[in-house]
Each structure stands twice: as C-alpha cells, then as structure tokens.
Amino acid sequence: MAALTLFDTPLLHRLRDSERILIAGAGGGFDLLSGLPIAFSLWERDKTVFLANLTFTPVTRTDARPVAPGLFEIDADTGGSASYFPEKHLAVWLRDHGHPDRVHLIRKGGPADIRAAYAWLARELRLDAVVLVDGGTDLLMTGDEAGLGTPVEDITSLLAANALDLPVKLAVCVGFGVDTYHGVCHAHFLENVSALAKLDAYHGVFSLLPGIPAVDSWLAAVDWVQRHTPGRESIVCASITDAARGEFGNHHSLSRTREKPTELFINPLMSMVWAFDLPAVATRVRYRNEIANTTTPFEVAAAIEAFRDTIPLRPHRPIPA
C-alpha cells in the first residue's frame, strides 16, 4: 500500500486496495445514512459497495425478501410501511440517481443472531472490507463511562463485525455532540479517541463539506428520506446535515425538536467523520464477554447494567470552554 500523505483521507486510504466493501449502520434506524458519503466516494472510485442496516423497520410486515435467518434484502420496489421504512426510501433515491438500490436489513436480535447475519453477508457478498457506521459517538463507549448512550444495538453490531475474517474492518462515528441527549459525556469520547490513538487505531477526522459531490449526494438522499418519514424523522441525521450546511446553535429544522423545550447546539463538530480500526474499538469494550452468550436485546441490556454495577464509573466531566 502506498504511503499516506497529508492530502489523503486516511479512511479512504485504508480502503484503496479493497474492492467489495460493506457499509453498515450499527445502531439501527437511520445510521446507514451517515455512511452514505463514504459509499458515494467509493462508488466514484469504481468500488463495489454493499449497504446494510440493523433495522427498526417491522420487516416481516414488508415484502422484503428473506435471505437468511434474521436477514432480509430490499430494493426500490419493495412494498412496506408508508410511515416508517427509511431503507426503502433510501433505495428509491439511489435507484432514481443511478446507484445500486439493493439494501440488506438485519433484524434486531441477540449477539449470535447478528453475528450470523454479518457472516452471511461476508461470505455471500465475498467482502474484503466492512465499514461500520454510527450516527453519534456512543459506539466508542467502553463500559465505564458516565453514560453509554444506546449501546445495545451499537455494540452488538460492533462485536459481530469484529468476528468477521476480513483484511479491513473500520468503525466510523458521525455526529459529535448529538449523544449529549442520551447521556454521553463527550470528554469521555475524546479520552477514548486518545487511547485509540496510542494504539495506532485512530484514523483521523474529515468534514462533510457541501460542494463535494459525495457530500451533496448524501445531503440530497437524507433530505429525501426525512421527507418520506413524517413525524419519525431522524434528529441525529438532521443535526448532522444542519451542521454541514453551516447552521449553528439552537437551530431546529424538524418540528419534532421545535415542539420540545430542548435547546440544541448545532455546530461544525457534528458534521465531522471520525474513523478507527474496528478491532481495536471492539477489544476495548469491557463487557464483551458478559454479553457474548446473551440471546436477546433485553438480555444484552440487562448484562450491561449488571456489569456496570460491579465497576467504578468515570465521573462526568465537562469539556473546558
């Protein structure tokens, strides 16, 4: 592999020799959309890119095609819920703009279920790389932080992707600051980034800037999906896209937040993409053994809470202003 230069994006540099790459949403819902700038950039480089998402869609009430236990495939023509089916709306936008519209949906389940789904994808799609994307930053929480955000889906996906035997496995976070409303202490996130840097597992940050074709396509795709999910739009995605467009402070582009007495802090840090070696992130999850043999998301959540009851937690600390 050629040497990295100051003018390279370290994340894409690590994917330069990969040809069949899975971009996967870690936490369900709209997480996959935060990986679209990477997908569009890879398509520009003539890479074969596949899309998957841990889904919150009631997939058995759709026409999604089951391909393996807990794993489904959809495209722009798949029928389903009109009120909440972000993956289908994304597929329609992709087809209408000349991109592959195939998306895999991973149904929520226990660690073994999610591992099996990822194993099928790696085998059947003949992958040589996976990029796991979190809309937010709680993917980096190890277990002893003041708050973990919503770890059940994120960490189950993280450990499943880490189990794959692939030459390149990367983890990406987009949306610094949005998890404040889920109890995450962002000083702890930055502390965890520093720890990964000492392991040579931190691959830097780049900004999602309008005017770059891949970013413009992402903005348009997110707007389309948001418009087609009225009342259930993603606050995380809205915060990230608003930040990319230069909004600042208590800016509300969704009625969902405008109608609540919550003060937002939209800022440029939210539209930055943070990249890491996935195995290093997974290895730092302190409760990974405790959840390994759980069978349902409920059991995962209970095991995490039981683990946290046995260890000292890092006290919440502010980022100095």
Q: What is the mean pLDDT of the segment spanning 144-159?
A: 97
pLDDT tens by residue, 180-220: 988 999 999 999 999 999 999 999 999 999 999 999 999 99
Q: For residues 142 and 139, what is the distance between their CA atoms, to the nearest angstrom?
A: 8
Smallest CA-to-CA distance from 228 within 66, 76, 113, 44 is with 76
The per-residue pLDDT of the chain, averaged, comes to 95
CB 106 within 8 A of CB 117: yes
Which CATH number is 18-233+269-308 given? 3.40.50
Q: Is the pLDDT of residue 161 over 60?
A: yes
**pLDDT reported for residue 251:** 94
> 1 falls in which pLDDT band (50, 70, 90)?
low
Q: In percent, how much of the chain has pLDDT > 90?
A: 91
pLDDT score for 258: 85
Per-residue pLDDT tens over the stretch 35-91: 999 999 999 999 999 999 999 999 989 999 999 999 999 999 999 887 899 999 999
Between 1-10, 129-138, 249-258, the lowest mean confidence (pLDDT) is in 1-10
Query: What mean pLDDT comes out for the span 118-131?
Result: 98
pLDDT at 274: 98
Does this model's pTM top 0.85? My answer is: yes
HEC profile of 80-99? CCCCCCHHHHHHHHHHHCCC
Residue 166 phi, psi (nearest 5): -125, 150
- The mean per-residue pLDDT over the stretch 131-147 comes to 98
